[in-house]
A and B are shown apart, each in its own frame.
Chain A
């Protein structure tokens, strides 16, 4: 039996909008196991983004528990969460979210700065990662000088900087044309197979979800269907 990496137990998230309370998540249960490729699917407004924020330790639930490596993180403070995010989880966003003022290699080094990794080691690792994503010749380019696909590859390299167990990709191909999107997807699959990373991908695209071995369907803040291949 595989170990569970992230487990959400009856997680509720309530937002207050003026006088109205909106339940973005309504008793979400989710169990993601080590080395799995999971796709989370659902229409917009289904609570996908909120779920990603919970899984990614960017936010804490209003009610319920979140276990990361069987430690409850739902009551942790901002700085502890940041520390965990930095070490355990690599983010890939739909908007790439690179720091515009930094070059590709500096962007990849940034997560390592926050973990206090010495400069030499940072440089070496960032260089290796950029080579891995095929951007060895674009290291000193700023995001504005790179194409969308290239930016997303830099973001993938950055997500791997601290060698996290989990890669959390939120609509990673949403801003890319289908060919570049397919490349990015191939790369995630490669990470999954070769590096044995746990990949969690949020998407609304049925075709993309096919590569996943475990698909969770989200609606109205709850899982309505779960398939494992």
Chain B
């Protein structure tokens, strides 16, 4: 179990069924994109969790920094009028 560190890390996104978005499921090591896709199939969809997979090199993801948490996210905290809580949701809509 030593050589896995030689392989790049990939982030795995799974779409559980048609109509939903791909959701981050986890990460894995693989030598290239094709093998990453196959490893993702074996690791994250073996219990029928998905109908579609994306793999993305972890190095290609730009993440927000914890230091920026206050400026990034806090201003939204006291603006309840941005939530769609004042609308009646039709019965048939399940994923809003």
Query: Is B one of A's binding partners?
Result: no
